[in-house]
Amino acid sequence: MALASAVPRSSPKGREKPRISPPTPARSLLKEWEQTCEAIGFEPFPWQRIAARYDNAIGRNGLWLFPEVAQIVARQNGKTRPLVPRIVHRLRMGRRIMHTAQNRELPREVFGHVAEILGAVPEETFIEQTLAGFAAGSAAGSEK
């Protein structure tokens, strides 16, 4: 039985730059995000840097330019990982942030990673504070 000769593989397909996007924002916290990435030892892919520019864009009024950002990226390409420096940076800014996902394990993993980076309080204390905030009627997770 003869073995088939090796078929040369083609280069990876895909694009780093978005095909559809709003104009590049004039103001962004991209540098701060990149500094946080460096501080926590995260080396983003080129597409993650581009996405971070939009995720962290600021309008003239100082509020987030794009309160909602859609990123259409195939599975297993690092969509969750850029959230960690974003969450760390915004927590250090004194903001509250909520992370949701299609299952409960992913936000718990991200929380654990962020807590490890920040040297944060035990998870039980965090949960008690969060539940107390919801009981008091605060909008936990809302960002200005």
The b/e string for 123-136 (b: 16+ C-beta within 10 A; e otherwise) is eeeeeeeeeeeeee
pLDDT of residue 128: 54
108 in a structural domain: yes
Q: What is the pTM of this model?
A: 0.68
Cα–Cα distance between 29 and 64 in angstroms, integer?
10
Q: Residue 58 pLDDT > 90, yes or no?
A: yes
pLDDT of residue 138: 44
Least confident piece of the model among 23-37, 72-86, 117-131? 117-131
Q: What is the pLDDT of residues 104-135, one digit of tens each?
A: 888 888 888 898 888 855 555 545 554 554 45
Domain count for the chain, please give it.
1
82 close to 68: Cβ distance less than 8 angstroms = no
pLDDT: which is higher, 90 or 99: 90
Query: What is the domain range of residue 126?
Result: 30-135
Q: Of 70, 76, 68, 83, which Cα lies nearest the Cα of 19?
A: 70
**Residues of the chain with pLDDT > 70: what percent?**
73
Cα–Cα distance between 35 and 14 in angstroms, integer?
27
61 in a structural domain: yes
130 in a structural domain: yes
pLDDT of residue 65: 93
pLDDT of residue 120: 58
100 in a structural domain: yes
141 in a structural domain: no
pLDDT: which is higher, 141 or 104: 104
